[in-house]
């Protein structure tokens, strides 16, 4: 992503904040894994969104004070340090950071605490995401306290503290052309990973083998990390929604559910496919699978501008509930089952969530208490499922079957574009792909 995109975002933020405001956005910290070893670093999504600077511990300070005619964006980052860089990797340092990243000034992080008092001084409003990063909270609140305690008339603390997420979340919800291109690529890589898993699956291999195939495809295409913990649930493990142990043997006759997406330049994909380990669905698996697919396709029909996620969700619930009645899994009338939410035993999660820098991306689902209408540029998942627990009070042929089908949709002017369409999901497409593999 080039700097113009970041500059456009900064400008919009500066113009949207109240006049005479300052905004503070901390980068993510490195998190200790054990002793002197850290978890892989991932940049904070808000910080990433505003400047793309890739290092930990940095801060961004933006001001629209009248003394700056076009606003001001200052970066604080770790200083150059030859010894630390030998051990822990290269750093930009303030001078190089200012040359390469979209900021007006850059200083060493060591200067932050002292400079922050004067930077905040005189602004009327402070925009900051309280509670998002506890160390950042401590620094910001202690700086505000220093300002308040300064000798009278020498300093002025802002009179209001405003949650910057109110602005940034709305910005992040509607994707730009450049973001859509990145999300297309994240979707494409994950699609190919799911195809690879379908081609690789074999009885007596393990769930972790499939996980490895998925991650192999991600890595080979330059997507270094999954966007969330990959789920590979074979047999009744598919009924555990956030199953991540991924360590059980694959058994002939079972289905396997894979929920996996990669992160591409910060942006997530989030795909689920469910397929038979043998390459062929059994009759009961086919019936439940087709029902989930019918629910998803029916939900797609109402995914368009001005409709809402809840409308799509109601459609999916109706198809699933009627289907479960038709199969004898639920008893009674459709209206009563929907009113009593009996389907919740088998379909217990929501249909959709926003997708973007975060897999469960930011953005309100309601506005003034009303369901939010869909708008072009939003990206969301559509992911109905049916999960029959191994001890469910139903005919035993259904027990232990877990199915989810999840795609990533971009809202367009006229409807939607399915970014993950190329991942096979009809029964015949899946079986055909898997037969090809064995021949």
- Interacting residues with ligand GLY (CB under 6 A): 228, 259, 270, 353, 359, 383, 406
Q: Is 270 a catalytic residue?
A: yes
How many angstroms separate the CA atoms of 358 and 200, rounded?
A: 29
Q: 228 is in the binding site of which of ligand GLY, Mn ion, none (Cβ under 5 to 8 A by kind)? A: ligand GLY
* Catalytic residue (choose from 55, 217, 383, 407): 383
Q: 257 or 277, CB closer to Mn ion? A: 257
Indicate whether 259 belongs to the interface with Mn ion (CB under 5 A).
yes
Say which entry of ligand GLY, Mn ion, none residue 354 contacts (CB below 5 to 8 A, set by partner kind). Answer: none
Taking CB atoms, the residue at the shortest distance from ligand GLY is: 259
Cβ of residue 243: shortest distance to Mn ion, in angstroms? 12
Shortest distance in whole angstroms from residue 187 CB to ligand GLY: 14
Verify whether residue 36 is a known catalytic residue: yes
Q: Does 381 bind Mn ion (CB under 5 A)?
A: yes
Residue 132 is a catalytic residue = no
Q: In the complex, what is the shortest distance from the CB of residue 262 to ligand GLY, in angstroms, rounded to a whole number?
A: 12
Catalytic residue check, 326? no
C-beta separation of 174 from 373 below 8 A: no
- Residue 296 binding Mn ion, by CB under 5 A: no
Active site residue 215: no
- For ligand GLY, give the closer residue by CB, 52 or 261: 261
Q: Output 213 or 270, the one with its CB closest to Mn ion.
A: 270
CB of 270 to ligand GLY, least distance (A): 5
Up-side HSE of residue 409: CA atoms within 13 Å toward CB? 30
407 binds Mn ion, rule: CB under 5 A: no
134 is catalytic: no
Answer yes or no: 387 catalytic.
yes
| Active-site annotation holder among 33, 88, 148, 360 | 360
Taking the least distance from each CB to ligand GLY, the nearer of 211 and 406 is 406
Query: Smallest distance, Å, CB 159 to Mn ion?
Result: 41
Give the residue numbers annotated as catalytic, written as ranges. 36, 242, 259, 270, 349, 353, 360, 383, 387, 404, 406
Tell me which residues touch Mn ion (CB under 5 A): 259, 270, 381, 406
């Amino acid at each position: 992503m080039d700097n113009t995109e970041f500059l456009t975002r900064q400008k919009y933020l500066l113009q949207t904040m109240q006049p005479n405001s300052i905004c503070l956005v901390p980068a993510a910290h490195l998190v200790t894994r054990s002793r002197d070893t850290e978890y892989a670093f991932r940049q904070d999504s808000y910080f990433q969104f505003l400047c793309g600077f890739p290092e930990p511990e940095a801060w961004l300070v933006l001001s629209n004070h009248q003394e700056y005619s076009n606003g001001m964006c200052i970066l604080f980052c770790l200083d150059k340090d030859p010894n630390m860089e030998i051990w822990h990797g290269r750093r930009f340092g303030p001078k190089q950071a200012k040359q390469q990243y979209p900021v007006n000034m850059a200083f060493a992080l060591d200067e932050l605490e002292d400079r922050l008092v004067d930077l905040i001084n005189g602004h009327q409003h402070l925009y900051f995401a309280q509670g998002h990063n506890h160390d950042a909270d401590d620094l910001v609140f202690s700086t505000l306290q220093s300002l308040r305690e300064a000798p009278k008339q020498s300093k002025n603390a802002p009179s209001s503290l405003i949650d910057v997420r109110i602005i940034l979340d709305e910005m992040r919800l509607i994707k730009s052309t450049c973001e859509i291109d990145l999300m297309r690529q994240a979707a494409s890589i994950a699609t190919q990973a799911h195809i690879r898993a379908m081609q690789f699956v074999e009885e007596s291999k393990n769930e972790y083998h499939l996980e490895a195939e998925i991650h192999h495809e991600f890595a080979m295409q330059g997507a270094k990390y999954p966007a969330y913990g990959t789920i590979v649930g074979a047999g009744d493990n598919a009924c555990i929604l956030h199953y991540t142990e991924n360590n059980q043997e694959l058994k002939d006759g079972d289905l396997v559910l894979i929920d996996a997406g990669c992160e591409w330049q910060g942006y997530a994909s989030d795909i689920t496919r469910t397929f038979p380990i043998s390459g062929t669905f059994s009759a009961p698996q086919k019936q439940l699978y087709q029902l989930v697919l019918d629910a998803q396709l029916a939900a797609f029909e109402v995914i368009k501008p001005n409709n809402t996620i809840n409308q799509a969700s109601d459609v999916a619930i109706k198809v699933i509930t009627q289907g479960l009645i038709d199969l004898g899994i639920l008893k009674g009338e459709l209206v009563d089952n929907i009113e009593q939410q009996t389907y919740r035993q088998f379909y217990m999660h929501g249909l959709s969530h926003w997708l973007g820098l975060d897999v469960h991306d930011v953005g309100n689902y309601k506005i003034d208490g009303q369901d939010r209408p869909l708008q072009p540029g939003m990206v969301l998942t559509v992911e109905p499922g049916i999960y029959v627990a191994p001890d469910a009070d139903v005919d035993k042929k259904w027990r232990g079957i877990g199915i989810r089908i999840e795609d990533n949709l971009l809202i367009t002017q006229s409807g939607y574009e399915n970014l993950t369409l190329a991942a096979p999901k009809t029964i015949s497409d899946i079986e055909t792909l898997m037969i090809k593999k064995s021949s």
